[in-house]
Amino acid sequence: MAGAAAALVVLVVLPLASLFVSSVRGEGGFSFEHFQRVAERRLYYQALINSLVLGAWTGLFSLLIGLPLAWAVARTNTPGQGFLKLTASLSYLTPPFLTAIAYVDLFGPNSGLLNKFVRDTLDLPFLVFNIFSMSGLVLVTVLHTFPFVYLLAVSALESVDASYEESAQILGAGTWRTALQITAPLVAPAVLSGTLLAFVNAIALFGSQAIIGIPGRIYTLPTRIYALFDYPPQHGLAAALSLVFVAITVLALVLQRAYLARRSYVILGGKGSRPQRIDLGRWRWAVFGFGVLVFIVAIAAPYFALITTSLVKSVGLSFFDNFTLVHYRFVLFEYDVTQRAIVNSLLLASVAATLAVLIGGIIGWIDLRTTAWGRKLLDYISLVPLGLPGIVMAVALIQFWLATPFPLYGTLLILLLAYVARYIPLGVRAANAALRQVDGSLEESARILGASWGMTVRRITFPLIRSGLLAGWVLVFVPAIQELSASILLFSSSSITVAVAVYNLYETGYVEPVAALAIINMIIIALAVWFADAFGRAAGPRPSTMQ
Amino acid sequence: MARIQIKGLTKRYVEGAMAAIHDLNLEIADNRFVTLLGPSGCGKTTTLRLIAGFVTPDAGTIAVDGVVLSSADAVVPPERRGMGMVFQNYAVWPHKTVFENIAFGLEARRTPSSEIAGRVARMLELVGLAGFERRLPSELSGGQQQRVALARSLVVEPGILLLDEPLSNLDAKLRERMRSELKELQRRTGVTFVYVTHDQAEALALSDEIAVIEGGVLQQFGPPRQVYARPANRGVADFMGQINFLPTRILAVSGETARVVVDGGLELAVHLPAGAPAELATGSEVDLAVRPENVRLAESGPHERPGALTGRIADVTFLGNANEYVATVAGGTRLRVQTHPSQQFAVGDSVTVEFDPTECTIFKPAGR
Ligand SMILES: Nc1ncnc2c1ncn2[C@@H]1O[C@H](COP(=O)(O)OP(=O)(O)OP(=O)(O)O)[C@@H](O)[C@H]1O
Ligand SMILES: [Mg+2]
Residue B42 near ligand 1, beta carbon < 6 Å: yes
Interior angle at CA A198, CA A193 and CA A199, nearest 5: 95
CA B45 to centroid of chain Cα atoms: 14
Residue A127 has pLDDT above 90, yes or no: no
Ligand 2: centre distance to CA B205 (Å) = 20
Ligand 1: centre distance to CA B34 (Å) = 20
Residue A385 has pLDDT above 70, yes or no: yes
Residue A212 has pLDDT above 90, yes or no: yes
Question: What are the tens digits of pLDDT across the range B191-241?
Answer: 999 999 999 999 999 999 999 999 999 999 999 999 998 888 888 999 998
Q: Taking a C-beta distance cutoff of 8 angstroms, is the pair A91, A299 a contact?
A: yes
Torsions phi, psi for B20 (to 5 deg): -65, -35
- What pLDDT, on a 0 to 100 scale, did the predictor assign at position B275? 64
Choose the closest CB to B54 out of A444, A455, A541: A444
- What pLDDT, on a 0 to 100 scale, did the predictor assign at position A86? 92
Q: Is B87 on the interface with A (CB under 8 A)?
A: yes
CA-nearest of A310, A303, A347, A350 to A329 is A310
Question: What are the tens digits of pLDDT across the range B143-154?
Answer: 899 889 989 998
Q: Taking a C-beta distance cutoff of 8 angstroms, is the pair A15, A399 a contact?
A: yes
Please give the torsion angle defined by the CA atoms of residues A339, A341, A346 and A352, in that order, rounded to the nearest 10 degrees: 160
Distance CA B319, CA A147 (A): 60
Residue A336 has pLDDT above 50, yes or no: yes
- What pLDDT, on a 0 to 100 scale, did the predictor assign at position B82? 87
Instruction: Label residue A234 by pLDDT band (50, 70, 90).
Output: confident
- What pLDDT, on a 0 to 100 scale, did the predictor assign at position B48? 93
**In chain B, what percentage of residues exceed pLDDT 70?**
96
Using DSSP's 3-state secondary structure scheme, residue A243 falls into: helix
Q: What b/e sequence results for B271-308 when a residue is b if at least 16 CB atoms lie within 10 Å of its CB, and e otherwise? A: bbbeebeeebeeebebbbbbbbebbebeebeeeeeeee
Instruction: Label residue B1 by pLDDT band (50, 70, 90).
Output: low
What DSSP state is assigned to residue A236? H
Instruction: Label residue B97 by pLDDT band (50, 70, 90).
Output: very high
- What pLDDT, on a 0 to 100 scale, did the predictor assign at position B32? 93
- What pLDDT, on a 0 to 100 scale, did the predictor assign at position A342? 93
Angstrom CA distances, A49 to A224, A225, A238, stand at 12, 14, 17
Q: Taking a C-beta distance cutoff of 8 angstroms, is the pair A159, A120 a contact?
A: no
CA B334 to centroid of chain Cα atoms: 27
CA-nearest of B48, B1, B35, B6 to B209 is B35
CA-nearest of B180, B155, B178 to B168 is B178
Distance CA A452, CA B208 (A): 34
B265 φψ region: left (φ > 0), alpha (ψ -120 to 50), beta (else)? left
Nearest CA in chain B to A466: B95
Question: What are the tens digits of pLDDT across the range B290-322?
Answer: 999 988 888 877 666 666 788 899 999 988 888
Alpha helices in chain B (DSSP H): 44-52, 98-108, 113-126, 142-154, 172-189, 200-206, 224-229, 234-239
Strand order from edge to edge, sheet including B350-355 = B295-299, B350-355, B309-318, B323-329, B334-339
**In chain B, what percentage of residues exceed pLDDT 90?**
41
Q: Taking a C-beta distance cutoff of 8 angstroms, is the pair B217, B22 a contact?
A: yes
Other residues' Cβ atoms within 10 Å of the Cβ of residue B329:
20
Which ligand ends up closest to the CA of B164? 2
The crossing angle, in degrees rounded to 10, of helices A412-437 and A375-383 is 120
CA-nearest of A208, A469, A483, A492 to A346 is A483
- What pLDDT, on a 0 to 100 scale, did the predictor assign at position A540? 45
Are A444 and B85 a contacting pair at CB < 8 A?
A: yes
Distance CA A128, CA A130 (A): 7
**Substitution site in B22, B44, B54 for ligand 1 pocket (most atoms within 8 Å of beta carbon):** B44
- Which residues, at least 6 apart from B303, have a Cβ–Cβ distance to it below 8 Å? none
Residues of B in contact with A442 (CB under 8 A): 91, 93
Residues of A in contact with B93 (CB under 8 A): 442, 445, 460, 464
CA A86 to centroid of chain Cα atoms: 17
Distance CA A374, CA B49 (A): 24
Angstrom CA distances, A370 to A4, A440, B20, B308, stand at 14, 11, 19, 65
Residues of A in contact with B139 (CB under 8 A): 544-546
Beta bridge partners of A224: none
Strand order from edge to edge, sheet including B67-70 = B21-28, B4-11, B59-64, B67-70
Mean local confidence (pLDDT), A478-503: 92
Torsions phi, psi for B193 (to 5 deg): -100, 130
Angstrom CA distances, A136 to A151, A211, A295, A516, stand at 24, 11, 17, 23
Residue B102 has pLDDT above 90, yes or no: yes
Question: What are the tens digits of pLDDT across the range A40-93?
Answer: 888 889 999 999 999 999 999 999 999 999 989 988 889 999 999 999 999 998
Residue nearest to atom 1 of ligand 1 (CA): B13
- What pLDDT, on a 0 to 100 scale, did the predictor assign at position A274? 62
Instruction: Label residue A348 by pLDDT band (50, 70, 90).
Output: very high
Please give the torsion angle defined by the CA atoms of residues B212, B214, B217 and B219, in that order, rounded to the nearest 10 degrees: -40
Q: Taking a C-beta distance cutoff of 8 angstroms, is the pair B355, B293 a contact?
A: no
Are A447 and B54 a contacting pair at CB < 8 A?
A: yes
CA-only gyration radius of chain A, Å: 25
Are A448 and B79 a contacting pair at CB < 8 A?
A: yes
Residue A1 has pLDDT above 60, yes or no: yes
Distance CA A349, CA A483 (A): 9
- What pLDDT, on a 0 to 100 scale, did the predictor assign at position A210? 93
Torsions phi, psi for A296 (to 5 deg): -65, -45
Q: Is B340 on the interface with A (CB under 8 A)?
A: no
Ligand 1: centre distance to CA B40 (Å) = 8
Q: Is B152 on the interface with A (CB under 8 A)?
A: yes
Average pLDDT, chain A: 86
Q: Is the pTM of this model over 0.80?
A: no
Are A448 and B108 a contacting pair at CB < 8 A?
A: no
Mean local confidence (pLDDT), A239-249: 91
Distance CA B50, CA B63 (A): 11
Residue B40 near ligand 1, beta carbon < 6 Å: yes
Distance CA B50, CA B53 (A): 5
Distance CA A74, CA A52 (A): 31
Average pLDDT, chain B: 88
Residues of A in contact with B52 (CB under 8 A): 444, 448
Instruction: Label residue A266 by pLDDT band (50, 70, 90).
Output: very low
- What pLDDT, on a 0 to 100 scale, did the predictor assign at position A544? 30
- Touching B: A residues 503-542, CB under 8 Å: 541-542
- Which residues, at least 6 apart from B323, have a Cβ–Cβ distance to it below 8 Å? B316, B317, B338, B339, B340, B341, B343, B344
Q: Is A352 on the interface with B (CB under 8 A)?
A: no
Residue B124 near ligand 1, beta carbon < 6 Å: no
Ligand 2: centre distance to CA B88 (Å) = 8
- What pLDDT, on a 0 to 100 scale, did the predictor assign at position A425? 92
Distance CA A209, CA A219 (A): 8
Instruction: Label residue A536 by pLDDT band (50, 70, 90).
Output: low
- What pLDDT, on a 0 to 100 scale, did the predictor assign at position B304? 63
Using DSSP's 3-state secondary structure scheme, residue B275 falls into: coil
Are B81 and A446 a contacting pair at CB < 8 A?
A: no
Nearest CA in chain A to B150: A445
Residue A299 has pLDDT above 90, yes or no: yes
* DSSP class per residue in A353-418: HHHHHHHHHHHHHHHHH---TTHHHHHHHHHGGGGS-HHHHHHHHHHHHHTSS---TTSHHHHHHH
Ligand 2: centre distance to CA B59 (Å) = 21
B192 φψ region: left (φ > 0), alpha (ψ -120 to 50), beta (else)? beta
Q: How far is B87 from chain A (nearest CA, A)?
A: 7
Residue B32 near ligand 1, beta carbon < 6 Å: no
| ipTM of this predicted structure | 0.74
Which ligand ends up closest to the CA of B87? 2
Q: Taking a C-beta distance cutoff of 8 angstroms, is the pair A177, A133 a contact?
A: no
Are B93 and A442 a contacting pair at CB < 8 A?
A: yes
Instruction: Label residue A437 by pLDDT band (50, 70, 90).
Output: confident
Question: What are the tens digits of pLDDT across the range B240-268?
Answer: 989 999 888 888 888 778 888 888 778 88
Q: Which domains does chain A have, with CATH numbers?
A: 1-14+325-547 (1.10.3720.10), 57-216+287-323 (1.10.3720.10)
Distance CA B161, CA B144 (A): 19
Q: What type of residue sits at position A23?
A: S
Torsions phi, psi for A255 (to 5 deg): -60, -45
